[in-house]
Amino acid sequence: MSNIDLLSDFVTREELSRILSISPRTIYRYSQMPNGLPYAMIGGRVHYRISSVKKWLESREKQPNPTVRGRRSA
Protein backbone atom coordinates (compact mmCIF):
# COMPACT_ATOMS: atom_id res chain seq x y z
CA MET A 1 0.00 0.00 0.00
CA SER A 2 1.51 3.32 -1.02
CA ASN A 3 1.22 6.73 0.62
CA ILE A 4 -1.06 7.83 -2.20
CA ASP A 5 -3.53 5.03 -1.37
CA LEU A 6 -3.52 5.98 2.31
CA LEU A 7 -4.16 9.66 1.60
CA SER A 8 -6.66 9.23 -1.24
CA ASP A 9 -9.56 10.14 1.08
CA PHE A 10 -7.81 13.26 2.41
CA VAL A 11 -7.29 16.77 1.03
CA THR A 12 -5.17 19.68 2.22
CA ARG A 13 -6.61 22.95 3.51
CA GLU A 14 -5.81 24.60 0.17
CA GLU A 15 -7.52 21.82 -1.81
CA LEU A 16 -10.58 21.95 0.45
CA SER A 17 -10.79 25.72 0.11
CA ARG A 18 -10.89 25.36 -3.69
CA ILE A 19 -13.53 22.60 -3.48
CA LEU A 20 -15.79 24.68 -1.18
CA SER A 21 -14.94 28.04 -2.82
CA ILE A 22 -13.95 29.61 0.50
CA SER A 23 -10.61 30.91 1.75
CA PRO A 24 -8.05 28.71 3.52
CA ARG A 25 -8.37 31.11 6.48
CA THR A 26 -12.10 30.31 6.73
CA ILE A 27 -11.30 26.58 6.67
CA TYR A 28 -8.83 27.21 9.50
CA ARG A 29 -11.45 29.12 11.53
CA TYR A 30 -14.00 26.33 11.03
CA SER A 31 -11.38 23.86 12.31
CA GLN A 32 -10.86 25.89 15.49
CA MET A 33 -14.57 26.15 16.40
CA PRO A 34 -16.09 23.98 19.14
CA ASN A 35 -17.55 21.01 17.22
CA GLY A 36 -15.58 22.37 14.28
CA LEU A 37 -14.36 20.85 11.07
CA PRO A 38 -12.45 17.63 11.89
CA TYR A 39 -8.89 17.30 10.61
CA ALA A 40 -5.79 15.15 10.93
CA MET A 41 -2.16 16.23 11.20
CA ILE A 42 -0.16 14.19 8.69
CA GLY A 43 3.50 14.95 8.19
CA GLY A 44 3.12 18.27 9.98
CA ARG A 45 0.33 19.41 7.65
CA VAL A 46 -3.40 19.59 8.20
CA HIS A 47 -5.50 17.20 6.10
CA TYR A 48 -9.27 16.76 5.93
CA ARG A 49 -11.04 13.47 5.25
CA ILE A 50 -13.67 14.12 2.58
CA SER A 51 -16.28 11.88 4.27
CA SER A 52 -15.78 13.73 7.59
CA VAL A 53 -16.15 17.09 5.87
CA LYS A 54 -19.42 15.93 4.28
CA LYS A 55 -20.76 14.74 7.66
CA TRP A 56 -19.73 18.03 9.29
CA LEU A 57 -21.46 20.04 6.56
CA GLU A 58 -24.60 17.92 6.91
CA SER A 59 -24.60 18.51 10.67
CA ARG A 60 -24.61 22.27 10.03
CA GLU A 61 -27.49 22.12 7.57
CA LYS A 62 -30.48 24.16 8.66
CA GLN A 63 -34.08 23.63 7.69
CA PRO A 64 -36.36 26.57 6.97
CA ASN A 65 -38.58 27.56 9.86
CA PRO A 66 -42.16 27.13 8.62
CA THR A 67 -43.55 29.33 11.41
CA VAL A 68 -41.56 32.42 10.41
CA ARG A 69 -43.26 34.50 7.79
CA GLY A 70 -41.23 36.20 5.12
CA ARG A 71 -40.94 39.96 4.95
CA ARG A 72 -43.35 41.81 2.79
CA SER A 73 -41.88 43.94 0.07
CA ALA A 74 -42.76 47.61 0.34
Q: Are the C-beta atoms of 47 and 39 separated by less than 8 Å?
A: yes
Cα–Cα nearest to 26, from 10, 35, 36: 36
pLDDT in tens, 14-51: 999 999 999 999 999 999 999 999 999 988 999 999 99
Query: How many CB atoms sit inside 10 A of residue 7's CB?
Result: 15
pLDDT computed for residue 3 by the predictor: 63
Q: Are the C-beta atoms of 22 and 31 separated by less than 8 Å?
A: no
pLDDT computed for residue 66 by the predictor: 80
Which has more confidence, 41 or 7? 41
pLDDT band at 7 (very low <50, low <70, confident <90, very high): confident
pTM: 0.76
Helix ranges (DSSP H) in 21-72 = 24-32, 50-59
